[in-house]
Every structure is written in C-alpha cells, then in structure tokens.
C-alpha cells in the first residue's frame, strides 16, 4: 500500500483505519518508492544503501501511524515497496490476499477537486483489485448512521457491486441503500406510459435485482429516482451520508475505458464520499481475493490477509 505523508493521504489513512475496524480487519500501510522519489524521511542523515533507506521508510510510516491514528494497533505492519506505485500496490495486494486497496483521490500539486490523481485514475480505470478512493474532504460518518450506498442497474457489474456491499454491510453491521436511476426507454412518453414503465422497473429493481440483499439478511432500502444515474447517485449519497459508495467496473479494457468514460469514473471523481470500485473478473488478476467470495455475502469469512491502505501521491 502507498502513502506519502501528505494531508490527502493522511485522510485516506484515517478512513482506511476506521473502515478496517468496522470490518474487523487489520491494515497494512506501505510506501512505494523509486530512485529520486521517496517519502520525506525522519532520519536527519541520508541513507547509505537501499536497505537503510527502506528501513527508514518503514520507521517513518510507523511514526505517521502512531501520530495520526487513535488506535495504531489496527495496523499490522508497514512496508517499503520498490517500484512504480500502481504495479507495486497491485502486486502486494494480490500476493498478500488483501481485500481492499485504499487510495486518496487527488494527485500531486493540489489538483482541482474535479480531477483525479494519476494513481487513483490508473487504479480505477481498469481495476485489478477492489479499490476505495477517498476524497480529501471526506466527511466523518456518525456511528448511528452507518450506511453503504450502491448503484444498481441490473447489469453484471452492478450485481457484483451489490453483493460486495451486502458482504461489507454484514461485517460492519450497517444498512445498504440500493439506488437505481430510471430513464424512460422511449422518447417523450405519455404520463400513463411513464407511470407504467416506472412501476414495472420498480418491481424488477426491488424483487429481482435486490434479491441478494434479502438473501444476505442485511438491513436495506431500495431507492428509485428518475434521472441521470450520475446525479442520482450523488444526490442520494449526500442525503444518506454513507460509509462509502459502491460501483462495479464494466470491464471495458484499457482503450475502451479511456475513450468512453463511464458512470463509475464520474462517481469516483465527483462523490464527496469514499467510493469502492468492484473489478470485473476479466480485468482482475485474482478475483475474488483469497478468503472472500462476494457471491456468498451471507457467510462472510475471516480475511486471510490484512486490508491494504494506499494514500495518493506516493513517491
């Protein structure tokens, strides 16, 4: 996992620690470095070799953890990862069986809120692992309002997202808010046609698409609104103040995802709340990760390895 000590990455670290405690998981904090780019180290003297450099990185990470977290014991270990940040994070997550990579939303240089940092953009464009993107101004969720908002549209990616949300809600003792944005399939429908189509879609949404939530036995509610899914998801998330939003990756492949854009990309970029992106099986190198089968949300198992937290802008 990667962190650089910046304000944005510290926000991501705090959320990751809080979420790990809700999920009854442990946290791994890591920093990926390359020659010429590294964390601002605590040692006043330059390291003499790679081993000394990496030891100093680990020491600095532990100091950050102790300073910033109310319960540093949630962190299992700190790591210095060598190489480019995205491959280093994905490799460590796959090898350790981590269930989630957490990153900050913004990149270096104080990018505008509407822009994603290069690391968050690359990790979520074609995700190889479950990724949570934490905005720099993510609000704190009240303990008695623990909800997970998930976008549902009847597609396979949305079904995967819903099942992971059910799994997470069962672990965190929270409520799932399933959201569907309805757009009439015909232009300029009459009032009677729109009412009929809306009733039909609501029945399918609540009875068929949200069936995994009933099977999982988690508290949930179904919210259907007419409008653009990007705006509906943002509006509902702001109303319910969730632990996180959850969306599924379409598995488009690198070129298609870059050219087309998506609701997923918009939600990750615009939501004021952390967003978890659930990967497509065709894109993930390991899916589901060891110890987690999102299709069996009624039987959440203990993780075989700790979660991974990554702050944006690791160097």
* Secondary element (H or E) of residue 59: helix 50-68
Dist. CA 228–CA 242, nearest whole Å: 20
In this predicted model, which residue has the larger pLDDT, 307 or 129?
A: 129
Span 7-43, pLDDT tens digits = 888 999 999 999 999 999 999 998 888 765 556 666 6
Dist. CA 229–CA 179, nearest whole Å: 9
Identify the pLDDT of residue 38.
55
Q: Is 181 helix (H, G, I), strand (E, B) or coil?
A: strand
What integer is the mean pLDDT of 126-150? 84
Dist. CA 220–CA 197, nearest whole Å: 24
What integer is the mean pLDDT of 296-315? 43
Report the predicted TM-score, pTM, of the whole model to 2 decimal places. Answer: 0.82
In this predicted model, which residue has the larger pLDDT, 203 or 46?
A: 203
Using the predicted structure, report yes or no on whether residue 119 has a pLDDT greater than 50.
Answer: yes
Span 39-63, pLDDT tens digits = 666 666 666 678 888 898 899 999 9
Using the predicted structure, report yes or no on whether residue 112 has a pLDDT greater than 80.
Answer: no
Q: Which of 25, 128, 37, 19 is nearest to 81 (CA)?
A: 37
Dist. CA 269–CA 263, nearest whole Å: 10
Using the predicted structure, report yes or no on whether residue 83 has a pLDDT greater than 90.
Answer: no
What integer is the mean pLDDT of 78-95? 88
Identify the pLDDT of residue 62.
94
* Secondary element (H or E) of residue 263: helix 263-270
In this predicted model, which residue has the larger pLDDT, 258 or 17?
A: 17
Cα dist. 18→24, 59, 306, 307 in Å?
10, 22, 14, 12
Phi-psi region of 128 (alpha: psi -120 to 50; beta: other; left: phi over 0): alpha
Identify the pLDDT of residue 235.
95
* Secondary element (H or E) of residue 94: helix 85-96
Could you give the percent of the chain with pLDDT greater than 90?
43
What integer is the mean pLDDT of 210-239? 94
Using the predicted structure, report yes or no on whether residue 312 has a pLDDT greater than 50.
Answer: no
Dist. CA 160–CA 165, nearest whole Å: 9
Identify the pLDDT of residue 2.
62
In this predicted model, which residue has the larger pLDDT, 20 or 293?
A: 20
Q: Which of 105, 149, 76, 153 is nearest to 307 (CA)?
A: 76
Using the predicted structure, report yes or no on whether residue 255 has a pLDDT greater than 80.
Answer: no
What is the residue whose two structure tokens read 């949404």? 205
Confidence band, pLDDT 50/70/90 cuts, at residue 194: confident
Cα dist. 293→97, 138, 297 in Å?
12, 28, 7
Using the predicted structure, report yes or no on whether residue 287 has a pLDDT greater than 60.
Answer: no
Identify the pLDDT of residue 239.
94
Identify the pLDDT of residue 238.
94
In this predicted model, which residue has the larger pLDDT, 10 or 145?
A: 10
Confidence band, pLDDT 50/70/90 cuts, at residue 115: very low
Contact 310, 5 (CB under 8 A): no
Confidence band, pLDDT 50/70/90 cuts, at residue 309: low
Using the predicted structure, report yes or no on whether residue 113 has a pLDDT greater than 60.
Answer: no
Helix ranges (H only) for 114-250 are: 118-125, 156-172, 191-203, 211-216, 229-240
Q: What's the whole-number average pLDDT of the chain?
A: 80
Confidence band, pLDDT 50/70/90 cuts, at residue 201: very high
Identify the pLDDT of residue 301.
42
Q: Which domains does the chain have, with CATH numbers?
A: 7-309 (3.40.50.12370)
What integer is the mean pLDDT of 148-175? 93
Residue 222, φ and ψ in degrees, nearest 5: -110, 125
What integer is the mean pLDDT of 302-312? 46
Identify the pLDDT of residue 58.
92
């Amino acid at each position: 996992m990667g962190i650089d000590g910046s304000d944005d990455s510290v926000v991501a670290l705090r959320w990751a620690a809080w979420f790990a405690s809700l999920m009854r998981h442990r946290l791994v904090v890591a920093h990926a470095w390359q020659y010429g780019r590294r964390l601002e180290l605590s040692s006043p003297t330059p390291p003499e070799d790679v081993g000394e450099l990496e030891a100093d990185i680990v020491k600095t990470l532990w100091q950050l953890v102790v300073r910033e977290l109310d319960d540093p014991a949630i962190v299992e270990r700190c790591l210095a990862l060598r190489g480019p940040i995205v491959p280093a994070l994905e490799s460590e997550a796959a090898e350790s069986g981590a269930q989630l990579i957490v990153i900050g939303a913004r990149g270096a240089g104080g990018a505008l809120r509407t822009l994603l940092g290069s690391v968050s953009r690359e990790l979520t464009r074609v995700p190889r692992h479950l990724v949570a993107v934490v905005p720099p101004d993510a609000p704190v969720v009240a303990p008695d309002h623990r909800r997970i908002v998930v976008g549902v549209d009847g597609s396979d990616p949305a079904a995967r997202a819903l099942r992971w949300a059910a799994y997470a809600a069962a672990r965190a003792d929270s409520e799932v808010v399933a959201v569907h944005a309805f757009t009439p399939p015909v232009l300029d429908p009459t009032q009677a046609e729109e009412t009929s189509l809306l009733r039909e879609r609501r029945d399918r949404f609540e009875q068929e698409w949200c069936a995994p939530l009933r099977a999982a036995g988690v508290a949930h509610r179904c919210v259907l609104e007419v409008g653009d899914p990007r705006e509906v998801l943002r509006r509902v998330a702001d109303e319910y103040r969730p632990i996180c939003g959850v969306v599924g990756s379409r598995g488009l492949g690198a070129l298609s995802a870059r050219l087309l854009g998506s609701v997923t990309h918009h939600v990750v970029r615009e939501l004021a709340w952390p967003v978890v992106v659930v990967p497509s099986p065709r894109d993930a190198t390991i899916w589901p990760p060891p110890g987690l089968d999102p299709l069996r949300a009624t039987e959440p198992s203990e993780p075989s390895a700790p979660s991974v937290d990554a702050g944006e802008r690791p160097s």
